[in-house]
Structure 1
Amino acid sequence: MLLGKTQTLKISEKNSSGWILTDESGEKAFLPKIFAQDEKEIGDEIEVFVYQDDNKLKATTEIPLAEVGEFAVMSCVQSLPSGAFMDWGIIKDLFIPYKQQKTKIIEGKRYLVHIYIDDELELITGTTKFKRNPQYQDLPFKKGDKVDLIMMNESELGWNVVINKKYIGLIYTSDVFKKLYPLSEESGYIKAIREDGKIDVSLQPEGFENIDEFKQKILDKLEENYGLLYLSDKSSPEEIKDEVQMSKKNFKKAIGGLYKDKIIDISEDKIKLL
């Protein structure tokens, strides 16, 4: 049975408290009655998340914020000297031992948590200690792929981020064109997968094939400002970043395309919607 994972199990027994579910090897997990579906019968299959409670395997139809091997932002529901209990979206809270806390976890606050199985105790465990910019092999994406990001923290090089809940990457300062906040969620794009297995990420797509996104962003901004923006290809990168949250390179591509399509007019110090 896959501990800390969502999987399909078979109903083997029913009683007044709930159902006994089994996997192909015959290993069992208990599904409390509160999560049982009346239309299901013995022999039917059901998709559940398997976790531990009182040293027993239990199942739930709830969807956790993250599974084993993944990251998620979680709120602390109780903090004790021995560790903290985090709300991870299911009936059972996730425990983070004190030794696995980067800083003391405070009740009511939100933290980025990685879930793993403690090898010694064989228990699903959380940690706020994790390696920055690790090296990876056989990554499931390529340059240009759109990904989901969780902002970790700002460093001298830029922003460390979690990619698709599983991988840690970096957005260089030169690729940041908007205000970012720790634990916020953003969309991003794989910029490069380096030979050392590290991942570079951008907040914006690269290349002319993605220029429509930038063109639309400028059009939206023009409409918000009554058809006029005091920006042009002579504007500084800082002015462009502050106003439309994109690089000067992408801005010039976008307004060039809009001008060619006869949608805008470009002056020395402004662009105007036609």
Structure 2
Amino acid sequence: MFKLGTYQTLNVARITEYGYFLQNTSSKTDGEVLLPNKLALRELQEGENVRVFLYKDGEERVTATMQDPDVTLNEVAFLKVKDANDFGAYLDWGLDKDLFVPHSEQIDTMREGQQYLVYMYLDEQTNRLAATTRLDRFMESENITVEEGEKVDLWIWKETDLGYKVVINNTHEGLVYHNEFFEDIFYGDKTVGWIKQVRDDNKIDVTLRPIGYDKVEPNAQHILERLRHKDGYLDLHDKSDPEKIHNRLEMSKKTFKKAIGRLYKKEIIRIEDDGIYLR
């Protein structure tokens, strides 16, 4: 079945002057979908399997592309408005046809050139891909798929009196309290966090620090801060040159080894041959 907004691996059934007609070999009822020449990133051979993304072109025909969009079905992204008119807003999502946001799906009127956090869905009435800034409607609050202590992907969503609402793994709404922020964050930022608590009412508290972070001694905390600023990786380990460690962290090799040993025991970091990583 051809499912809009998703990647599928299809087979090149035939080649024409317009492009490649693809089919799903596991289903004989799907028919064919065209991969236009301009959307094929390389020359393909008949019988070859190819991974493509499916959407509708300007003529409302199901179309395949080898390009990668900035968002797929049931995901969140921070996208820029290319145009806005009486019908709605049109977002740049990396493909030749813009992603549409109806006026009814805009909390505030979207403006050209501005970026917005949106959720992409399939409109069942029109069978078209569309986006919305009304993320609340698509957040799952009954079946919680995360556990306390789990590392998760986050989108910074909107500020409240208590902190910032975040989108967890494109699926759940969570809250990061104001006292959990130790660096500047902004609406639309994508980052990682850890599940601090899943409450009895299924509301989720999130922290931007690994669980156990606040319970480590100052040297270990200093290393953790550096790891966060370096995208979770430092090219230092217990065999690194003492001078290199001192220049980078302003601590002795002995202190460094003791600190990363404690972090390792708390399962906050992992130690590899090329350096240390946040878990």
TM-score (norm: length of structure 2):
0.73
The alpha-carbon distance between structure 1 residues 213 and 103, as it changes in their structure 2 partners (threshold 3 A), is farther
Whole-Å separation in 1 of the counterparts to 2:130 and 2:6: 13
User: Percent identity at matched positions?
Assistant: 30
Note the 1:1-274 alignment, pairs <5 A.
1-23=2-24, 24-25=26-27, 26-36=30-40, 38-53=42-57, 54-131=59-136, 134-139=140-145, 141-207=146-212, 211=216, 214-217=221-224, 227=250, 258=259
Which runs of 4 or more aligned residues in structure 1 lie more than 4 Å from their structure 2 counterparts after TM superposition? 208-213, 218-228
8 Å CA contact 2:223, 2:249 repeated in 1: no
- Measure, in 1, the Cα distance between the counterparts of 2:22 and 2:220: 48
Gaps of 5+ in 2: 230-244, 263-279
SS at match of 2:108: coil
Considering only aligned residues, what root-mean-square deviation do their CA atoms show, in Å?
3.2
The one-character-per-residue Cα deviations of 1:44-72 (angstroms, maximum 9, x if unpaired) are: 11101100122210011111111111110
- How far apart, CA to CA, are the structure 2 residues paired with 1:12 and 1:85? 33
Normalised to the residue count of structure 1, the TM-score between the two structures is: 0.74
Work out the CA distance in 2 between the residues paired with 1:170 and 1:100: 23
Deviations along 1:25-61, one digit per CA (max 9) or x if unpaired, are: 2332211102335553222111011001222100111
Equivalent AA in structure 2 for residue 214 of structure 1: Q
Q: Is the 8 A contact 2:91 2:98 kept in 1?
A: yes
Secondary structure (helix, strand or coil) at the match of 1:183 reads: coil
Instruction: Output the amino acid matched with 1:84.
Output: A
For the 8 Å contact 1:50–1:58, the answer to whether it is kept is yes
Residue of structure 2 equivalent to 1:237: none
Q: How far apart are residue 123 of structure 1 and its match? A: 1.0
How far the C-alpha of 1:129 sits from its partner, in A, is 1.3
- The answer (yes or no) to whether the contact 2:157–2:188 under 8 Å persists in 1 is yes
Aligned to 1:270: none
Provide the residue aligned with 2:235 in structure 1: none
Say which is worse superposed, 214-223 or 50-59, in terms of deviation.
214-223
Query: What is the DSSP-based 3-state SS (H/G/I as helix, E as strand, rest coil) of the residue aligned with 1:131?
Result: helix
Distance 2:144 2:213 in 1: 28
CA distance 1:224–1:101, change in 2 (3 Å): farther
Letter in structure 2 aligned against 1:135 = S
SS in 1 for 2:192: strand
The verdict on how the C-alpha distance between 1:210 and 1:3 changes in structure 2, with shifts beyond 3 A counting, is farther
Q: Aligned-pair distance for 1:138?
A: 4.9
Q: Is the 8 A contact 1:134 1:198 kept in 2?
A: no
Q: Which deviates more from structure 2 when the two are superposed, residues 179-188 or residues 193-202? A: 193-202
Against the structure 1 CA distance between its residues 37 and 125, is the aligned structure 2 distance closer, same or farther, given a 3 Å change threshold?
Answer: closer
Offset of residue 172 of structure 1: 1.9
Do 1:72 and 1:165's aligned partners in 2 also have CA atoms closer than 8 Å?
no
Q: Which letter does structure 1 place at the counterpart of 2:148?
A: K
